[in-house]
Amino acid sequence: MPVPSTAGRLLIACPDARGIVAAVAGFISEHGGNLLDAEQHTDHEHGEFVMRVVFDPSGCDPDDRMFEGAWARLVQRHRMRWRIRWSHVRKRMAILVGRQPHCLQELLWRVGTGELGAEIVFVASNHPDLRETVEHAGIPFHHHPIEDGPGAQARQEADLVARVDAADVDLVVLARYMRVLGPAMLDGRAERIINIHHSFLPAFAGGDPYRQAYDRGVKLIGATSHYVTEVLDDGPIIAQDVTTVDHHDSVADLRRRGRDLERLVLARAVAAHCEDRILVTGGKTVVFR
Amino acid sequence: MPVPSTAGRLLIACPDARGIVAAVAGFISEHGGNLLDAEQHTDHEHGEFVMRVVFDPSGCDPDDRMFEGAWARLVQRHRMRWRIRWSHVRKRMAILVGRQPHCLQELLWRVGTGELGAEIVFVASNHPDLRETVEHAGIPFHHHPIEDGPGAQARQEADLVARVDAADVDLVVLARYMRVLGPAMLDGRAERIINIHHSFLPAFAGGDPYRQAYDRGVKLIGATSHYVTEVLDDGPIIAQDVTTVDHHDSVADLRRRGRDLERLVLARAVAAHCEDRILVTGGKTVVFR
Amino acid sequence: MPVPSTAGRLLIACPDARGIVAAVAGFISEHGGNLLDAEQHTDHEHGEFVMRVVFDPSGCDPDDRMFEGAWARLVQRHRMRWRIRWSHVRKRMAILVGRQPHCLQELLWRVGTGELGAEIVFVASNHPDLRETVEHAGIPFHHHPIEDGPGAQARQEADLVARVDAADVDLVVLARYMRVLGPAMLDGRAERIINIHHSFLPAFAGGDPYRQAYDRGVKLIGATSHYVTEVLDDGPIIAQDVTTVDHHDSVADLRRRGRDLERLVLARAVAAHCEDRILVTGGKTVVFR
Amino acid sequence: MPVPSTAGRLLIACPDARGIVAAVAGFISEHGGNLLDAEQHTDHEHGEFVMRVVFDPSGCDPDDRMFEGAWARLVQRHRMRWRIRWSHVRKRMAILVGRQPHCLQELLWRVGTGELGAEIVFVASNHPDLRETVEHAGIPFHHHPIEDGPGAQARQEADLVARVDAADVDLVVLARYMRVLGPAMLDGRAERIINIHHSFLPAFAGGDPYRQAYDRGVKLIGATSHYVTEVLDDGPIIAQDVTTVDHHDSVADLRRRGRDLERLVLARAVAAHCEDRILVTGGKTVVFR
Cβ pair A26:B25 closer than 8 A: yes
The identity of residue C28, as a single letter, is I
Residue A57: is the preceding peptide bond cis (ω within 30°)? no
Q: Is the backbone peptide bond immediately before C202 cis, with ω within 30 degrees of 0? A: yes
Residue (of B88, B199, A101) closest to D202 by Cα position: B199
Q: Which of B131, B58, B136 is nearest to B95 (CA)?
A: B131
Residue B1 has pLDDT above 50, yes or no: no
Nearest Cα to Cα of residue B287 among B231, B222, B237, B243: B237
Look at B39 and A35 and tell me if their CB atoms are within 8 Å: no
Its sign, for the CA torsion B200, B206, B210, B214, is negative
Is C65 an interface residue toward B (CB < 8 Å)? Answer: no
Mean pLDDT over the full length of chain C: 93
Residue B4: the pLDDT is 54
The burial class, CB within 10 Å (0-12 / 13-18 / 19+), for C72 is exposed
| Neighbouring-strand partners of residue A284 | A281
Give the integer Cα–Cα distance in Å for D32 and D71: 14
C-beta atoms of B247 and D218 within 8 A: no
Q: Are C188 and C210 in contact (CB under 8 A)?
A: no
D41 Cα to chain C: minimum distance (Å):
6
A 10 A CB-CB count for A193 gives 23
Which helix (H) or strand (E) element contains residue A160? Answer: helix A152-166
- Residues of chain B with Cβ-Cβ distance to A12 below 8 Å are none
Strand partners, B86: B8
Residue C35 to residue D47, Cβ atoms within 8 A: no
- Contacting residues of D for B249, CB less than 8 Å apart: none
Which residues in chain D land under pLDDT 70? Answer: 1-4, 59
In chain C, which residues have their Cβ closer than 8 Å to the Cβ of B136? 136
Q: Given C109, C248, C289, which is nearest B105 (Cβ)? A: C109
Distance from CA of A236 to the nearest CA of C (A): 7
pLDDT at A65 over 90: no
Does residue A170 carry a catalytic annotation? no
- What percent of chain B has pLDDT above 90? 81
Chain B residues with CB inside 8 Å of A3's CB? 44
| CA gap B26, B29 in Å, rounded | 5
Q: What is the pLDDT of residue D38?
A: 87
Residue B96's DSSP bridge partners are B124, B174
Residue with the bigger pLDDT between B216 and D57: it is B216
By C-alpha distance, the chain D residue nearest B242 is: D242
Point out the least confidently predicted range of A148-162, B47-61, B146-160, C89-103: B47-61
Which domains are assigned to chain C? 8-86 (3.30.70.260), 91-287 (3.40.50.170)
Position B271 pLDDT exceeds 90: yes
pLDDT at C226: 98
> What are the beta bridge partners of residue C15?
C48
The pLDDT score that the predictor gives to residue C4 is 55
- Give A233-257 pLDDT, tens digit per residue: 999 999 999 999 999 999 999 999 9
Q: In Å, how far is C265's CA from the nearest CA of chain A?
A: 11
Q: Is A220 helix (H, G, I), strand (E, B) or coil?
A: strand
Residue A2: what pLDDT? 47
Average pLDDT over residues A181-209: 95
Enumerate helices (H) and strands (E) in chain D, giving the number of each: 8, 13
Min distance C75 CA to chain B CA atoms (Å): 30
Contact B21 A21 (CB under 8 A): yes
* Closest C-alpha to B238, from B191, B198, B205, B282: B191
The β-bridge partners of D55 are D8, D35
Closest in D202, D217, D241 to B203, CB measured = D202
Q: Is C130's pLDDT higher than 60? A: yes
Q: Is the pLDDT of residue B201 over 90?
A: yes
Q: What's the pLDDT score for residue A260? A: 94
Composition of chain A by helix, strand, coil, percent to 5: 30, 30, 40
Q: Which residues contact C56 (CB under 8 A, 6 or more apart)?
A: C4, C7, C8, C33, C34, C35, C36
Contact D145, D156 (CB under 8 A): yes
Q: Which residues of D are less than 8 Å from A105 in CB distance?
A: 109
Which residues is B242 bridged to in the sheet?
B222
When pLDDT is averaged across residues A178-185 and rounded to a whole number, the result is 93
Q: Say what the pLDDT of residue A184 is.
A: 93
Average pLDDT over residues C279-288: 95
φ, ψ of residue D50 to 5 degrees: the values are: -130, 150
d(CA C38, CA D67): 23
Contacts A–C by Cβ distance under 8 A: 82
* Residues of C taking part in catalysis: 233
**CA distance readout (Å), B18 to A37, A63, B22, B47, B279:** 12, 19, 9, 12, 21
Chain centroid to Cα A207, Å, comes to 22
How far apart are the C-alpha atoms of C85 and B204, rounded to whole Å?
A: 39
Element (H, E) at B225: strand B220-227
Largest alpha-carbon pair distance within chain C?
64
* A22: contact with B, CB 8 A cutoff: yes
8 Å CB contact of B21 and A38: yes
Asked if the model's pLDDT at residue A3 lies above 70, the reply is no
What are the phi and psi torsion angles at C9 (to 5°)? -120, 110
Which residues in chain D touch residue A248, judged by CB atoms under 8 angstroms apart? 289
**pLDDT one-digit tens code per residue, A11-49:** 999 999 888 999 999 999 888 888 888 898 888 888 999
Across chain D, where does the E strand assignment appear?
8-15, 34-43, 48-56, 81-86, 91-97, 118-125, 141-143, 171-175, 193-197, 220-227, 237-244, 278-281, 284-287
Q: How far is B29 from chain A (nearest CA, A)?
A: 5
As a whole number of angstroms, the distance between CA C259 and CA D212 comes to: 36
Q: Which residues of A touch B19 (CB under 8 A)?
A: 25, 29, 34
Residue of C11, C46, C201, C219 to mutate when probing chain A, most A C-beta within 10 A = C219
Amino acid identity, position B68 = E
**CB contacts < 8 A (A, D):** 13
Q: What average pLDDT does the structure give for chain B?
A: 93
Determine contact, residues B39/B52, Cβ cutoff 8 Å.
yes
List the beta bridge partners of residue D287.
D278
DSSP helix/strand/coil, B276:
coil
**HSE, side-chain direction, 13 A CA sphere, residue D169:** 26
Chain C interface includes A248 (CB < 8 A): yes
- For residue C60, is pLDDT > 90? no
A93 sits in which H/E element: strand A91-97
pLDDT in tens, B65-123: 888 889 999 999 999 999 999 999 999 999 999 999 999 999 999 999 888 989 999 99
Q: What is the pTM of this model?
A: 0.95
Interface contact flag, A25 B29, Cβ < 8 Å: no
Chains that touch C (3 or more CB pairs under 8 A): A, B, D
In sequence order, what DSSP letters do the residues of C58-126 get, joined into one string?
A: TTS-SSGGGGSTHHHHHHHHHT-EEEEEETTSPEEEEEEE-S--HHHHHHHHHHHTTTT-EEEEEEEES
CB of D285 less than 8 A from some CB of B: yes
Sign for the CA dihedral angle at A222, A227, A229, A235 comes to negative
Q: Do D22 and C45 count as a contact with CB atoms less than 8 A apart?
A: no
Q: Is the CB of residue C102 less than 8 Å away from at least one CB of chain B?
A: yes
Share of chain C above pLDDT 70, in %: 98
The phi and psi torsions of C166 (rounded to 5 degrees) equal -65, -30
Q: Do B22 and A44 touch (CB under 8 A)?
A: no
Query: Under an 8 A CB cutoff, do A256 and D105 touch?
Result: no
Spatial distance between the Cα atoms of A268 and C105, rounded to a whole number of angstroms: 38
Instruction: Say if residue A187's pLDDT is above 60.
Output: yes
Q: What pLDDT shows up at residue D4?
A: 55
pLDDT tens per residue, range C151-192: 998 999 999 999 999 999 999 999 999 999 999 999 999 999
| Helix pair angle (D102-112, D251-274), 10° resolution | 30
Taking CB atoms and an 8 Å limit, are A219 and C236 in contact across chains?
no
pLDDT above 80 (res B32): yes
Q: Which of B29, B41, B44 sits opposite A22 (nearest CB)?
A: B29
